[in-house]
Chains A and B, each alone.
Chain A
């Protein structure tokens, strides 16, 4: 499988600088890169000095809107050329979005295109945040807050110019309590910290659930005009598989684009020893993955929601109601 890393972050937050540094590292020698630039003439690719085995593809436009299909086409083309041997056999794909892009449609493309999903596994989303201007940008630009909210790793850049202000760190924690905040100095970052298994570990070919779920927020955060909230539902009682299915169906149906991301580990009544890992972006969900066992002694279900304008109480009420209904139907069928 080829690991895909989505690199996102607002305009000027240091994505291209970071990518340029990463591509000089031996760990990134077998990396293909897709750079998405917004504008008639792209410049970012000129700023990157790729190593010999790296490959750069350039698109103009914005991945999240008019050329979304082009992303799939570009990846198909890359894979074909890899198979034909006309490009190096890359093992990692980095997709750098434009600074104005919503990363969700990029994720959806990787999830829903069968030919891509069969060969490319989502490694994680890294979002760069400028330590100097990041706090203002997060307040002013809704898309910036969204980019931070969906990240698996948050990467603070330009820390050589200014120490990250406490308000920025607090804001990032509010937007995305589960993502570790890493610090890049002069664009340098330990590639291991950045890439190893937020979603997919190429060595173990599995998800590091504890790292991925991080420290789940225990209470709802309320924010400014962006309306982005993050909260966790923790549940001790196992869920029936049907309840989970109906719950995800209703969440997808009623939340749609306002469900920025949902991830979790679920104790399923019918499968007590093998928890299900769930992951969704807007209305698109991966099929549940069944882990071989619990990653720790904690067998509670944990569902982490990153949402825009969806009240936690509604989500809780939905789950409670579905749970009661399914339990009653199950009881009536078995009596």
Chain B
């Protein structure tokens, strides 16, 4: 993994805290790891080693879980920081908007 996704993810997580109204901070750690402090918790997001079928590891309270993509990182982070958060999955309508 190059540094670009980590840099962008760091910015996204910082914006996410603001969007979720969670006070805290996001900072880069050694390598490409990202440390999130908020809501009395610390969350470490690290790129997964090459060869694994997922992209990230998310550690919350010493429990390390894989995250297949940025979407999964966001979900796990929010679940840890935002107790009132209820996951709402996308629902696809029965038919397209218009006929073509």
Contact = CB atoms under 8 A, between A and B. Distances in A.
Interface residues of B, number: 34
A112 B5 contact: no
Interface size class, chain A: 35 or more
Nearest to A209: B98
Contact of A328 (B5, B12, B87, B90): B5
A283 B93 CA distance: 10
Contacts of A253: 71, 74-75, 87-90
A162 interface: no
Given A253-B89, A253-B90, A317 B96 contact: no
Contacts of A1: 99
Interface in B1-46: 1-2, 4-5, 8-9, 11-12, 15-16, 18-20
Contacts of B8: 317, 320-321, 324
B88 A112 contact: no
Among B18, B89, B92: residue with most chain A CB under 10 A: B92
Interface stretch (A40-48, A231-239, A244-252): A244-252
Interface string B61-80: 00000000111001100100
A104 to B, nearest CB: 13
Given A199-B97, A286-B93, A310 B19 contact: yes
Interface of A: 1, 111-114, 116-118, 121-122, 199-200, 205-207, 246, 248-250, 252-254, 256, 277, 279, 283-292, 310-311, 313-314, 317-318, 320-322, 324-325, 328-329
Given A206-B100, A249-B71, 7 more contacts: A1-B99, A111-B94, A114-B94, A116-B94, A200-B97, A287-B92, A317-B11
